[in-house]
Structure 1
Amino acid sequence: MSYTKKDLITTSNLTKDEIYHFLNLAKEFKALNNSDVKKAKSLYGKTTVNAFFENSTRTRTSFEIAAKRLGADAINFSASQSSAKKGETLLDTINNIVAMKTDIVVLRHYSSGAAKFVAANTDAHVVNAGDGLNEHPSQALLDLLTILEAKGSLENLTVAIIGDIFHSRVARSDIYAMKTLGIQVKLFGPPMMLTGMEAFGCKICKSMQEALEDTDVIIMLRIQLERQDDEVPFPSVREYSNFFGLTKAKMKFAKEGVIIMHPGPINRGVEINSDVADDPRYTHILNQVENGVAVRMAILHTLISNKQG
């Protein structure tokens, strides 16, 4: 077993071996998912609860499918229909869920640091499914699996992350994991959406051309308006698309064999045009969705195996 921690909260403390542990195990589960009988038994008799305090489609659904394919009872908890609306604290809510003999809590919360706080105060395994502006580790792992499949290796690669990086927990988790693996990361977006990003030690690009040239993987991010308290930092969506959106015309700067990824949901015509997003020569967006189930199976399986060990 290459990963022995109780929880998965961040990619910032993952070693190279731990990252590859999850990726290699996910490959095995992906093969299972493509077989006639999509079932394993490593979580048989266990209970997972998806405690989501923010809306989600792909992440919540894939964690639910992952748990059920491993034989667990998977319960979806919606904060909008819970006692949290009556003033119950986050920790009280989670403690009540765990008191029902829950083995794994998959937590998505609007506050940065919520997953780490909950993990430190419960005996159940906690998986961070996105906490505020902080991190989204399972998305980073599925991104790496998608890149590994497309490129055959994670060595000597350059990845460009483009868009609303400041508000993106996906970008942070990607950057941490990719830098651990020696992947060169370039960042590009509106200046206000790059605030403080110099701290990550990535190359900050000044144009879309600079971001796309000599890049193996392009990860486009949507504008996360729901996380912006102040006025939107650009005059119009049209102007954003002109300068920071990925269009067919701009793809002339990209090298042959480049792949395009997006954590979803896509705002078509804003950060990426449909003729690019749907072009089979480039896009691996649905591959990411498929890989999300396999990666999350690997995460749940590993955490339960740790406890049993």
Structure 2
Amino acid sequence: MATQPLIRSDHLFDTVELSKWELEQIMERAAFWEKNWRPGQAPFAGRFAANLFFEPSTRTRFSFEIAEKKLGLHVLNVNMEESSTTKGESLCDTVKTLSALGVEVVTVRHREPEAIQELLTEDTGCKIINAGAGKMAHPTQALLDLYTMKKHFGSLSGLKVAMIGDIKHSRVVRSNCWALGKFGVQVIFSGPESMRDHELEKIASYLPFEEAIREADVVMMLRVQLERHHEQLFVSAGEYFKNYGLSIERFQTMKPDAIIMHPGPVNRNVEISDELVEHPRSKIFAQKTNGVFIRMAVLERALGGVQR
């Protein structure tokens, strides 16, 4: 296991821009922090990070904040409803202002991917980490998913991962596809006809729900993203669970060593039976734990490595 800090200082928009080596290095650094971090360590003491979330978030925002504080960073959580963007200031100018005040790295979640992409083309003075861009990209979620799989199976090569549910509106699917493909993982899609994405199906096959569950080593259930639907795509939560939810009966058809994952937030008894969320073969809460260490590694990468 490599223990030398990542020395590259860079933005992170999506996993498609990362090589297999870079993905491996980030996971190795996450493993390093998971094994070696102790209370009181502060390798980035005296340096500043800011979190700008234009969409609701619990896991990702707090995960980044905890990761930042574990690294010793001073953290600014900007309330975007009270920021100068409500007065007409551009997001670029907001980030440039933060840079002028001493902030070095900014995590951003925005419903418009172009807003984050623009920051990458401007000289804002800050390193930018995408914490969720519309339905386009969520790189740190994909990284923590890979890390969770690798910890459980020992290797990613040869795995078959089924992503089931709201494929069309999921940024998690896209970032996972790019990353998993670099490790030879076979990705399978399944879910309601109204939630399929035929462009994505050019790179991964679509299977009927029951078949996808039987074949997969990882069954990743996806949240039904009602906030991104412009029309009603199913009759009711009960009807969705009946047709596309991971029930106890469907769970029993999975491979005996297959695991359950979900990027969250989980709609219990909609995407997955309540009893399965904390099942021993569920990695849903392990994903959340692993997310802190992955985000520590990503922040370290953005800031150019640990200060000795």
Helix, strand or coil at the partner of 1:6: coil
Kindly provide the amino acid, as one letter, of the partner of residue 9 in structure 1.
F
Distance apart, 1:198 and its partner CA = 3.9
Distance apart, 1:114 and its partner CA = 2.3
Per-residue CA deviations over 1:23-65 (Å, capped at 9, x if unaligned) read 01100111135xxx33433322210000111111111111111
Alignment of 1:177-256 (within 5 A): 177-205=179-207, 207-228=208-229, 230-256=230-256
Distance apart, 1:265 and its partner CA = 0.8
Q: 1:3 to 1:240 in 2, by over 3 A?
A: farther
Structure 2 residue 272 is matched with structure 1 residue 268: no
Partner of 2:142: 140
Alignment partners' CA distance in 1, 2:259 and 2:221: 11
User: Are the equivalent residues in 1 in contact too, given 2:15–2:175 (CA < 8 A)?
Assistant: yes
Partner of 2:11: 7
Per-residue CA deviations over 1:77-133 (Å, capped at 9, x if unaligned) read 121222222332222222222221210000111102322211221221100000111
Distance apart, 1:5 and its partner CA = 5.4
Q: 1:2 to 1:93 in 2, by over 3 A?
A: closer
Helix, strand or coil at the partner of 2:252: helix
Kindly provide the amino acid, as one letter, of the partner of residue 210 in structure 1.
E
User: Are the equivalent residues in 2 in contact too, given 1:39–1:70 (CA < 8 A)?
Assistant: no
Structure 1 portions without partners, runs of 5+ = none
Kindly provide the amino acid, as one letter, of the partner of residue 15 in structure 2.
T
Kindly provide the amino acid, as one letter, of the partner of residue 134 in structure 2.
G
Partner of 1:158: 160
RMSD value, Cα: 1.8
Alignment partners' CA distance in 1, 2:151 and 2:10: 28
Q: 1:151 to 1:107 in 2, by over 3 A?
A: same
Kindly provide the amino acid, as one letter, of the partner of residue 203 in structure 1.
S
Partner of 1:29: 33
User: Are the equivalent residues in 2 in contact too, given 1:2–1:18 (CA < 8 A)?
Assistant: no
Q: 1:306 to 1:6 in 2, by over 3 A?
A: farther
Alignment partners' CA distance in 2, 1:203 and 1:175: 12
Alignment partners' CA distance in 2, 1:221 and 1:10: 19
Per-residue CA deviations over 1:166-195 (Å, capped at 9, x if unaligned) read 111111101110011110000011122113
- When normalised by structure 1's length, the TM-score is 0.93
Helix, strand or coil at the partner of 1:135: coil
Alignment partners' CA distance in 2, 1:119 and 1:212: 39
Distance apart, 1:196 and its partner CA = 2.7
Alignment partners' CA distance in 2, 1:136 and 1:3: 23
Structure 2 portions without partners, runs of 5+ = none
The number of residues matched between the two structures is 303
Taking every aligned residue pair, what percent have the same amino acid on both sides? 39
Q: 1:17 to 1:39 in 2, by over 3 A?
A: farther
Alignment partners' CA distance in 2, 1:81 and 1:195: 37
Alignment partners' CA distance in 2, 1:43 and 1:208: 46
User: Are the equivalent residues in 1 in contact too, given 2:8–2:304 (CA < 8 A)?
Assistant: no
Alignment partners' CA distance in 1, 2:225 and 2:255: 28
Kindly provide the amino acid, as one letter, of the partner of residue 4 in structure 1.
R
User: Are the equivalent residues in 2 in contact too, given 1:42–1:70 (CA < 8 A)?
Assistant: yes
Partner of 2:169: 167
- When normalised by structure 2's length, the TM-score is 0.93
